[in-house]
Amino acid sequence: MKKHAFVGLVAALCTVTMLHAAEVKIDAAVTHQTILGWSVNPWQPWMTPWQRDRLLDEAVNELGLTRIRYGPQNGSRHGVVCWEPVNDDDDPEHIRWAAFGTSEVDKYVETWIKPFKQRVEALGDPFTLWISPSFFNGGSTGRVPEWLVRSPGEYVEYATAFLLHLKNRHGIEADHYVICNEPANGNLFQPQVVGRMIRTLGPRLKALGLKTRVQFPDGVNTRVSWNFIQALKDDAEVWPWVTHLSYHLYGSKDERTLIRDFAKARGIPTGQTEYMSQTTEVLYDDLTLADASYWSIYGWGRVLTVNHDGASVRRESEYWNFRQVMHYVRPGAVRIEAASDDASLRSLAFVHKGKTTVVLLNDLKDSRKQDVTVKGLPAGRYGVCRTVNRRAYEELGVQTVAADGTLTLPVVKASVVTVYAHPGGNLPPTVTGFDASPTFLVAPASRVVLAASGTDPEQDPVTFKWTVASQPAGAKVQLAKPDADTTPATGLTVPGDYVFTVTVSDPTHVVTRQVKVIVFAKNNPPEILDLHNRIPITVTLPESKTLLRAWPNDLEKDKWTFDWKVMKQPAGANVVLDLPPRAKPDATARVATGMTVAGDYVFRFEVTDGHNTVHKDHTVTVHPENHPPVIADATARIDAPGSAALSAKAADPDGDTLTHWWWTKKAPAGVKPVFDHPGHASTRVTGLTAAGEYVFTVTVVDRTKAAERDVKLTVFSRRGR
């Protein structure tokens, strides 16, 4: 009986194996998009330089990111300098640099862009940068100021000043510029506004000698993006400047193939540029349905987290999955056909510099353990590695593909397997973990456990050695098992920084990593990580309220309590702070009302963890009621054939800085008048090449309000004269 049962089991296993043997056919003759960049928008205001380095080593060298998203600061965040908080002056053709928040940009460039770029280029890959400003009416960025949205001249100054500062001060040129992050999603950037900005920005970028071109439209989802593309598809003045079609995925994902086909017809790459719920499924769909060339991590979401301890960085759920693609598929790689005959096993293949990489994604709900035969591989040696259930990746050894181009691999459920061309020789081991637990100590605690892990492409034995690199004077750290991957470290008895080195070796290489543990002398006070007001950001009477927001964090996770205080308000004002409607009772946000008098209001956010109390003050300035500019006169006078002089006289009752924008409201069919200085009170307009009625409009804008005046001009044909 027993014997028969055993035979039966073997037979069943064989049947299972037979049934579940998928085949993936690689066809390098069928090529799709070229991969151009893996993007991220680095941001971690609380990290230390040590953590920044650790984060970027992981993000660039290991995960494989190559591209940064960054944008001008808008809003009123405590301690953050905005890019152009008020219009710099009355001339969009003149940059008054003192009015721009260059220090914030400098800090960002030094903290993130330069060290990131240096790491990408050290790998021999192209670094790329895209700029994306946000103007959410209800968000922390605040609604776009009137002078910025009503004058393409001012908008273009805002954008080009940013790009020029990056280039002239830091030698960094952005590759792409987005007019507005998620246009029409709770902001004023409808398709015609975006179109107007592109038409003005494009020629200016060229005139300034900038290589930056427009990324469009970065809609909140594929439907919105497609609608923007459709709205501007016939605008011949827009498309010469657009070099990247992009979309987010919040909502409809169904228009990816439409965007792909439109982009293909115009020879433009596509990209998925933001989504907070990234998975391998989304990555696969973006690469295969949209033919995405650019793909983005939002923030460090789902890949890496900087802990608040000043020393450690944590890998998140999708880190290892995405590494299976990004680490191996580098900018320049061309996606080629990789057809799987099993819907539960998705496959991707790429060719780069003559080398083929294959990724098998066996991590759908209905995926199962099976042998997979890959056909069509160029003969040669291949490294095979995988991650299972999002755990640290492991090398599975080197395989040789013979002239038949076939490789059969056992593939387990919930795994992502990468087959990469082995460069020959012997490769060093990869360190897949080097961490302390806990990640920090508060005296008198004095013990941590250090743990490292590694994997070797040739499956050489990997050995570990832990040493103490530095410790505070007077400390005598002991490592219980320094030759093991994991060892307790005791004797961290003196507050300060402890740095441990782990040496990870195969028989021919030595790789080192460092782990820092900070021992704090006593409990840490809470940190106020964010403090700002919004809705509106800038309060102008008769508006008299705003929303205050704060975000504290406590390192030891002590229970904290907070208090808001009004520290200062103008005489006659009577500010009241209330919990926002529908907010949870313990929410930190407050609605401030009763700001009925112009002047500065100072709000204090105070937080205590029972041991320490800290606070930050935030000033909200309430501006007096604003009166729109008054246009006293506007004239047009023909001064030469096909040319006219336009002039406006405007004043502001409050003495605000005014900016002008001249545009053509009406012209005979086919005529495109050109303004010398559309942003000046007086400008010449040329190109009035046909007889007929022209209407030129001047828009004059102060801080929050605009006035407009039409000027009519009739051009007669010579015969008519």
**Beta carbon nearer to Ca ion, 78 or 196:** 196
Binding-site size for Ca ion (CB under 5 A) equals 19
Told to check if 458 binds Ca ion by CB under 5 A, we report yes
Alpha-carbon distances of 118 from 60, 66, 113, 450, rounded to whole Å: 10, 10, 8, 30
Work out how close the CB of 96 gets to Ca ion at its nearest, in angstroms, rounded to a whole number: 6
**Beta carbon nearer to Ca ion, 93 or 261:** 93
d(CA 526, CA 598): 33
Work out how close the CB of 648 gets to Ca ion at its nearest, in angstroms, rounded to a whole number: 16
Of the candidate spans 8-16, 337-345, 634-642, 694-702, the one that interacts with Ca ion by CB under 5 A turns out to be 694-702
Binding mask 701-720 for Ca ion (x = CB under 5 A): -x------------------
**Beta carbon nearer to Ca ion, 94 or 107:** 94
**Beta carbon nearer to Ca ion, 274 or 656:** 656
Alpha-carbon distances of 143 from 25, 536, 594, 657, rounded to whole Å: 51, 8, 22, 19
**Beta carbon nearer to Ca ion, 88 or 286:** 88
Nearest to 468 by CA among 514, 424, 436: 514
**Beta carbon nearer to Ca ion, 627 or 712:** 627
Work out how close the CB of 161 gets to Ca ion at its nearest, in angstroms, rounded to a whole number: 8
Work out how close the CB of 155 gets to Ca ion at its nearest, in angstroms, rounded to a whole number: 9
Work out how close the CB of 381 gets to Ca ion at its nearest, in angstroms, rounded to a whole number: 13
Of the candidate spans 64-72, 90-98, 216-224, 347-355, the one that interacts with Ca ion by CB under 5 A turns out to be 90-98
Binding mask 603-642 for Ca ion (x = CB under 5 A): -----------------------xx---------------
Work out how close the CB of 183 gets to Ca ion at its nearest, in angstroms, rounded to a whole number: 21
Orientation angle between helical segments 280-289 and 319-326, nearest 10 degrees: 30
Told to check if 154 binds Ca ion by CB under 5 A, we report yes
Work out how close the CB of 347 gets to Ca ion at its nearest, in angstroms, rounded to a whole number: 27
Told to check if 286 binds Ca ion by CB under 5 A, we report no
> In 10 A of CB 469, how many CB atoms?
14
**Beta carbon nearer to Ca ion, 96 or 568:** 96
Q: How many residues does the chain have?
A: 721
Of the candidate spans 264-272, 356-364, 504-512, 556-564, the one that interacts with Ca ion by CB under 5 A turns out to be 504-512
What residues numbered 399-428 form the site for Ca ion, per CB under 5 A? Answer: 426-427
d(CA 222, CA 462): 47
DSSP three-state, residue 380: strand
Work out how close the CB of 158 gets to Ca ion at its nearest, in angstroms, rounded to a whole number: 6
Residue 466 is given by DSSP the state E
Work out how close the CB of 507 gets to Ca ion at its nearest, in angstroms, rounded to a whole number: 8
Which of 39, 41, 66, 87 forms a contact with Ca ion (CB under 5 A)?
Answer: 87
Told to check if 23 binds Ca ion by CB under 5 A, we report no
Bridge partners of 707, per DSSP, are: 700
Measured at the CA of 482, the angle between CA 476 and CA 486, to 5 degrees, comes to 110
**Beta carbon nearer to Ca ion, 540 or 593:** 540
Nearest to 369 by CA among 338, 426, 411: 411
Told to check if 395 binds Ca ion by CB under 5 A, we report no
Work out how close the CB of 216 gets to Ca ion at its nearest, in angstroms, rounded to a whole number: 23
Which of 53, 543, 654, 676 forms a contact with Ca ion (CB under 5 A)?
Answer: 654
Work out how close the CB of 426 gets to Ca ion at its nearest, in angstroms, rounded to a whole number: 5
Told to check if 146 binds Ca ion by CB under 5 A, we report no
> In 10 A of CB 698, how many CB atoms?
23
Told to check if 554 binds Ca ion by CB under 5 A, we report no
**Beta carbon nearer to Ca ion, 427 or 448:** 427
Work out how close the CB of 4 gets to Ca ion at its nearest, in angstroms, rounded to a whole number: 46
d(CA 300, CA 47): 13
Work out how close the CB of 418 gets to Ca ion at its nearest, in angstroms, rounded to a whole number: 17
**Beta carbon nearer to Ca ion, 554 or 656:** 656
Nearest to 164 by CA among 212, 117, 99: 212
d(CA 176, CA 156): 14
Told to check if 62 binds Ca ion by CB under 5 A, we report no
Work out how close the CB of 656 gets to Ca ion at its nearest, in angstroms, rounded to a whole number: 4
**Beta carbon nearer to Ca ion, 152 or 310:** 152
Told to check if 656 binds Ca ion by CB under 5 A, we report yes
Which of 125, 157, 318, 609 forms a contact with Ca ion (CB under 5 A)?
Answer: 157
d(CA 201, CA 242): 11
**Beta carbon nearer to Ca ion, 435 or 456:** 456
d(CA 429, CA 392): 13
% helix, strand, coil for the chain, step of 5 = 20, 40, 40
Told to check if 652 binds Ca ion by CB under 5 A, we report yes
**Beta carbon nearer to Ca ion, 81 or 566:** 81
Token readout for 678 is 């559309």
324 HSE (CA, 13 A, CB side):
33
**Beta carbon nearer to Ca ion, 182 or 506:** 506
Asked if 383 and 377 touch (Cβ cutoff 8 Å), the reply is no
**Beta carbon nearer to Ca ion, 511 or 671:** 511
Which of 274, 460, 530, 554 forms a contact with Ca ion (CB under 5 A)?
Answer: 460
Pairing of strands 496-505, 463-470: antiparallel
DSSP 246-260: EEE-SS--TTHHHHH
**Beta carbon nearer to Ca ion, 376 or 428:** 428
Told to check if 227 binds Ca ion by CB under 5 A, we report no
Told to check if 190 binds Ca ion by CB under 5 A, we report no
Orientation angle between helical segments 280-289 and 256-266, nearest 10 degrees: 40
Nearest to 162 by CA among 84, 241, 238: 84
Token readout for 126 is 């192209």
Work out how close the CB of 262 gets to Ca ion at its nearest, in angstroms, rounded to a whole number: 34
Of the candidate spans 24-32, 85-93, 186-194, 487-495, the one that interacts with Ca ion by CB under 5 A turns out to be 85-93
**How many helices and strands (H and E) does the chain possess?**
11, 42
DSSP three-state, residue 320: helix
d(CA 53, CA 376): 41
Orientation angle between helical segments 191-207 and 222-232, nearest 10 degrees: 70
d(CA 198, CA 230): 15
DSSP three-state, residue 639: strand
Bridge partners of 491, per DSSP, are: none
Token readout for 428 is 């060093």
Token readout for 215 is 């990324």
Alpha-carbon distances of 335 from 34, 85, 329, 355, 402, rounded to whole Å: 6, 44, 9, 12, 23
Which of 146, 318, 363, 456 forms a contact with Ca ion (CB under 5 A)?
Answer: 456
Binding residues for Ca ion, rule: CB under 5 A, are 87-89, 91, 94, 154, 157, 426-427, 456, 458, 460, 506, 626-627, 652, 654, 656, 702
